[in-house]
Structure 1
Amino acid sequence: MKNMAGLSRREFLKSASIITASTCLPRFASAAESKRKNIVLIMADDIGFECFGCYGSEMYDTPNIDRLAANGIRFTHCYSQPLCTPSRVKLMTGKSNIRNYVGFSLLDGSQETFAHLLKSAGYKTCVAGKWQLYGAEHYSEETRGKGTLPEDAGFDTHCLWQVDKLGGRYWGPLLHIDGANRQFPKDVYGPDVCCDHICDFIKNAGEKPFFAYYPMILVHNPFPVTPDSENPESSDKQKNFADMVTYMDKLVGRIINTVKDEGLEKDTVVMFVGDNGTNRSIESKLGSQTIRGGKGKTTDYGTRVPFISSTLGETGSQVCDDLVDFSDFFPTVAGLAGASMPSDVKIDGCSFLPRLTGGKANPREAIFMYYYPWPIKGWKPETRFARDKRFKLYGDGRLYDVEKDVLEKHPVLESSDTEETRAVRLKLQKVMDSMPDEPEMIRKK
């Protein structure tokens, strides 16, 4: 059936989705209209919301992150991709994986990142921590070197694990620093080196606004001891994981304190988020619940992540239940910088900047996810779904009431639909129909 403009229903929905995405974006102020904010975006590796005191955990020590939440805003419905590379590609480009994902460990060189955008707006840019977006030498020939180097992704300076080589990430790390690999001694702890790089960047930023992106090495497996572990010989992965969470929080505190010590607190927004759920070998207590990590799964325990941000102005401590998708960080960072969005790029993100400023927000009604992490090897089936805060609809028609069925064991059958579930099916199906039928950049076998 064609509408009055001669478009099919699916074509019409796709064009409408582009318009809807654009209306999510704030009107960005020019550099002359307002002082541009420094931005620190910290992303921990492999840790879900269940591991933080500000989300109710009493099992782990996260005082610095909890303090950030107590003086800022804590989001309760932030959703990542289930795995590291898919999350990073979406976060850095503002696009759904269905538009620009090409393979694990790769960021396609044609993609504009938030660092490109901010650098063109006059920002100094830095990245330190974990890269895994170039295709290091241990990957297959189809992947090796087919991604993007950090200097080509818009960053002025970098200190990163796993750019073109693998090496260690924790004790005695091999790190790629401003274009060259450096092997550190065995008594050097990699996360410390990366944190030092971020702190030095902040201290030496000068008069220009800066963007510091810190995709942390912690708390990904393996689970070695940290410099603060009581037993340096411990092989208890659950205990070592807890020590790693504490040390991760310590490094976040170092960065926040550096911002304060430099007198930049009022001019800097600090955001902390996780890249996907916790490792599946880790069990955590959250109240009376025992939660097994869901990394790699599309359930809440694989995709629902902590997100805490400082705010601008006198907004006070807040808890926000707006839906936030990883694609939303790109337009939000652009808004903080007063940067003009690229006119020729389709962005799937909706800015949550009004929540940081105390302004009038335009929150999402739903998010869309496309997940196919290993297309080059053909591993794992493609998965797509749309969800709101309560319900999730998969591409094969399965509907789950996630509030009641967080592990997605009991789909809601169409034959037992209520008026509410019938309406939500229609709403979420429209979201899926508005997106491309096939991935636009994946070369399928």
Structure 2
Amino acid sequence: MTSAALFAQLLYTTQLKAESSDRPNVILILTDDIGYECFGCYGSQQYQTPNIDRMAARGMRFTHCYSQPLCTPSRVKMMTGLSNARNYSAFSILNRDQRTFGHLLQETGYRTMIAGKWQLYGANNYPQRFRAKGMAPSDAGFDQWCLWQVDQLGERYDAPLLNINGETRQFSAKQYGPDIAVEQILKFIDQKSDQPYFVYYPMILVHNPFVPTPDSKLRDTKRKQKNFEEMVAYMDIQVGKIVDHVQQTGQAENTLILFTGDNGTNTKIRSQLNDQVIQGGKGKMTDAGTRVPLVGYWPGVIPPDTTCADLIDFSDFLPTLADFAGATTPAKIDGRSFQPQLLGKPGTPRDWIYCYYNPRPEKTKPVRFARDQRWKLHGDGRFIDVENDVLEKHPLTDLSATPDAAAAHAKLTAALNSQPAEGVALLKFPLGPNNQAK
């Protein structure tokens, strides 16, 4: 090898090492069953979320992030970068042929860990036809895990039943499931390694049952609304523990933290936001069912105290994480990276997002919509000016009466027509009466 070739090789090797060392640790936090209306940084004065609000003040807050209306559909979409129309087959199931962001980061040299809620394997509380039909955490790209509801259900809060690295453990009544998950995350972060790490934290909180937290002064399970508010506060404390630990261990300048939610708030919860009362929209295709918080935090990298109004779809998380990790993004996905926006650059924002929703495809029919920041076209033809009708009670019928409505309707009609109207990934269930799965 000539001296010039040797120098070039050394330079290339040095660049590779530099690129590897520049790859950030990544922590993705997904809270359960809480919409945008329940956070101080989105205008709420009803809920206490100081840690998440602080992340937003020191990082970037997105105002138009949209999930699926329910937990499993959102997780499948987020983890694979694909619309539910392409790979969603059953509630509580992640098909075994899928590639997740865990796989991508693991194969790129990341240590990977997941803690919190799984619900993607088909636990023993579901009908026999669903059990063990999905993906186990060990097969989804995760080296370590601490999870509720893998193959068994059990309690999630007091006296939880958790699966830790393949061992099912029953904890005592004095132990709180969300606390155990955070403890395992902090232990993982502290493990010595030259590799960057990826922590995916699909939280157990704040899903019902609405029960007292360790910080609650009253142990009354009947005060649902108040217990929910206290659960939100405790959820925020848990997020703060992780953010503070990263800071205290000197990792903050090389750690990207993303915080979002999997769907809207439980329908039994009512929240005051500015001059409106928003009833939780979980399971519904309304703004209250699909609009969720998204905060990006990385000191010295993400511009502080910034707001981004670009559309973010849940399929966008996989390519975004892949870009930060230096992984190769799969060619055929629906997601679009928002890494540039997090770095303060224009990026290539979406003109619209598409939501296909059919949580129980063995017995229900799909619904869908396409939308942008203001306008929303449902598959049944309802056309909503969400900016002026956030509760979606007054579909527009005369497009000429509102400026820009006709152009928006044409754009979103084309968007709907460009996407699948029927799902293609169904489990093969034997049919019973009325063509429903047995």
Determine if the TM-score, normalized by the shorter chain, exceeds 0.5. Answer: yes
* Map of 2:77 onto structure 1: 90
Cα distance, 1:164 vs structure 2? 0.4
Asked if 2 retains the 8 angstrom alpha-carbon contact of 1:375 and 1:443, the reply is no
TM-score, length of structure 2 as denominator length? 0.91
TM-score, length of structure 1 as denominator length? 0.90
Q: What CA distance in whole angstroms lies between the structure 2 residues aligned with 1:238 and 1:179?
A: 35
Q: Does 1:395 pair with 2:395? A: no
1:275 aligned partner, one-letter code = D
Asked if 2 retains the 8 angstrom alpha-carbon contact of 1:98 and 1:438, the reply is yes
CA-based RMSD of the aligned residues comes to 1.6
- What aligned pairs does 1:44-83 form with structure 2 within 5 A after superposition? 44-83=31-70
* Map of 2:5 onto structure 1: none
Partner of 2:19, secondary structure, is coil
Asked if 1 retains the 8 angstrom alpha-carbon contact of 2:86 and 2:424, the reply is yes
Q: What CA distance in whole angstroms lies between the structure 1 residues aligned with 2:112 and 2:192?
A: 9
Cα distance, 1:387 vs structure 2? 0.3
Partner of 1:330, secondary structure, is helix
CA distance 1:166–1:374, shift in 2 (3 Å): same
* Map of 1:131 onto structure 2: 118
* Map of 1:189 onto structure 2: 176
Partner of 1:322, secondary structure, is coil
Partner of 2:311, secondary structure, is strand
Most deviating of 101-110 and 312-321: 312-321
Cα distance, 1:110 vs structure 2? 0.4
Cα distance, 1:173 vs structure 2? 0.3
Q: Does 1:313 pair with 2:301? A: yes
- What aligned pairs does 1:266-345 form with structure 2 within 5 A after superposition? 266-311=253-298, 313=301, 315-343=303-331
Give the share of equivalent positions with the same residue, in percent: 55
* Map of 1:407 onto structure 2: 391
Q: What CA distance in whole angstroms lies between the structure 1 residues aligned with 2:366 and 2:383?
A: 17
Cα distance, 1:130 vs structure 2? 0.4
* Map of 1:20 onto structure 2: none
2:145 aligned partner, one-letter code = H
Q: What CA distance in whole angstroms lies between the structure 1 residues aligned with 2:209 and 2:170?
A: 19
Q: What CA distance in whole angstroms lies between the structure 1 residues aligned with 2:155 and 2:336?
A: 37
CA distance 1:314–1:192, shift in 2 (3 Å): closer
Q: What CA distance in whole angstroms lies between the structure 1 residues aligned with 2:398 and 2:425?
A: 34
* Map of 1:429 onto structure 2: 413
* Map of 1:356 onto structure 2: 342
Partner of 1:125, secondary structure, is strand
Q: 1:386 aligns with which of 355, 363, 370?
A: 370
Q: What CA distance in whole angstroms lies between the structure 2 residues aligned with 1:414 and 1:249?
A: 44
Cα distance, 1:409 vs structure 2? 1.9
* Map of 1:4 onto structure 2: none
- What aligned pairs does 1:226-245 form with structure 2 within 5 A after superposition? 226-245=213-232
Asked if 2 retains the 8 angstrom alpha-carbon contact of 1:203 and 1:258, the reply is no
CA distance 1:31–1:360, shift in 2 (3 Å): farther
Partner of 2:310, secondary structure, is strand
Cα distance, 1:265 vs structure 2? 0.2
Q: What CA distance in whole angstroms lies between the structure 2 residues aligned with 1:123 and 1:242?
A: 36
Partner of 2:351, secondary structure, is coil
- What aligned pairs does 1:245-260 form with structure 2 within 5 A after superposition? 245-260=232-247
CA distance 1:31–1:136, shift in 2 (3 Å): farther
Asked if 2 retains the 8 angstrom alpha-carbon contact of 1:30 and 1:338, the reply is no
Q: What CA distance in whole angstroms lies between the structure 1 residues aligned with 2:420 and 2:184?
A: 40
Asked if 2 retains the 8 angstrom alpha-carbon contact of 1:124 and 1:211, the reply is yes
Most deviating of 121-130 and 302-311: 302-311
Q: What CA distance in whole angstroms lies between the structure 1 residues aligned with 2:153 and 2:16?
A: 41
Partner of 1:331, secondary structure, is helix
Cα distance, 1:416 vs structure 2? 5.0
Cα distance, 1:417 vs structure 2? 6.2
CA distance 1:31–1:106, shift in 2 (3 Å): farther
2:394 aligned partner, one-letter code = H
Asked if 1 retains the 8 angstrom alpha-carbon contact of 2:125 and 2:152, the reply is yes
Most deviating of 402-411 and 108-117: 402-411
- What aligned pairs does 1:113-262 form with structure 2 within 5 A after superposition? 113-262=100-249
CA distance 1:386–1:229, shift in 2 (3 Å): same
Asked if 2 retains the 8 angstrom alpha-carbon contact of 1:281 and 1:293, the reply is yes
How far does the alpha carbon of each residue in 1:38-75 deviate from its partner, in whole angstroms, 9 at most, with x for none? Answer: 00000100001111111111111111000000000001
1:306 aligned partner, one-letter code = P
How far does the alpha carbon of each residue in 1:384-434 deviate from its partner, in whole angstroms, 9 at most, with x for none? Answer: 110001111122222111112222222212575657222212211221222
Asked if 2 retains the 8 angstrom alpha-carbon contact of 1:42 and 1:213, the reply is yes
Q: What CA distance in whole angstroms lies between the structure 2 residues aligned with 1:188 and 1:212?
A: 22
Q: What CA distance in whole angstroms lies between the structure 2 residues aligned with 1:31 and 1:442?
A: 44
Asked if 1 retains the 8 angstrom alpha-carbon contact of 2:210 and 2:221, the reply is no
How far does the alpha carbon of each residue in 1:212-265 deviate from its partner, in whole angstroms, 9 at most, with x for none? Answer: 000000000001100000113453111111110010000001100111122110
Partner of 1:428, secondary structure, is helix
Q: What CA distance in whole angstroms lies between the structure 1 residues aligned with 2:406 and 2:192?
A: 54
Q: What CA distance in whole angstroms lies between the structure 1 residues aligned with 2:220 and 2:109?
A: 47
Asked if 1 retains the 8 angstrom alpha-carbon contact of 2:296 and 2:302, the reply is no
Q: What CA distance in whole angstroms lies between the structure 2 residues aligned with 1:396 and 1:242?
A: 35
Q: What CA distance in whole angstroms lies between the structure 1 residues aligned with 2:354 and 2:99?
A: 21
Asked if 2 retains the 8 angstrom alpha-carbon contact of 1:124 and 1:205, the reply is no
Q: What CA distance in whole angstroms lies between the structure 2 residues aligned with 1:46 and 1:440?
A: 27
CA distance 1:205–1:272, shift in 2 (3 Å): farther
* Map of 1:25 onto structure 2: none
Most deviating of 125-134 and 280-289: 280-289
1:39 aligned partner, one-letter code = V
Most deviating of 392-401 and 272-281: 392-401
Partner of 1:33, secondary structure, is helix
Asked if 1 retains the 8 angstrom alpha-carbon contact of 2:63 and 2:307, the reply is yes
Q: What CA distance in whole angstroms lies between the structure 2 residues aligned with 1:436 and 1:233?
A: 47
2:329 aligned partner, one-letter code = M
